[in-house]
Amino acid sequence: MKIYVISDNVDTHTGMRLVGVEGAVVHTQDELKEQLDRIMDDEEIGIVLIMEKLSKQFPDIINTIKLTRNLPLLVEIPDRHGTGRTKDFLTGYVREAIGVKLG
């Protein structure tokens, strides 16, 4: 299985290409949708890495794919500036998911 990256910047795309991961740079919702439509039916692609920023900008597209497809697996990754998540991301996620406050 192959890994594919969808990035919003050339630096991340270039870095991934240096380690053998193909991908695309997108900036608009239409470009993202076009790329996802093109690669979703490629049976060789098992994992799609997508920048957190794109995932936050276009959550409807990403959530629809995550809820309706098993493969390829969509994995959100931070860009070169780091993650946009807060320090208590995981505890907040648990609290939201099951309604239990940790610590």
pLDDT tens per residue, range 11-58: 889 988 999 999 999 999 999 999 999 998 889 999 999 998 898 899
Judge residue 41's burial from the number of C-beta atoms within 10 Å of its C-beta, 0-12 exposed, 13-18 middle, 19 or more buried.
exposed
Q: What is the pLDDT of residue 86?
A: 64
Residue 98 above 70 pLDDT? yes
- The whole-model pTM stands at 0.75
Cα dihedral: 80, 82, 85, 90 (round 10)? 110
Name the CATH topology of 2-98: Rossmann fold (3.40.50)
> In this predicted model, what pLDDT tens digit does every residue of 66-92 receive, in sequence order?
888 888 988 888 876 656 666 665 566
Q: Kindly list the domain boundaries of the chain, sorted by start residue.
A: 2-98
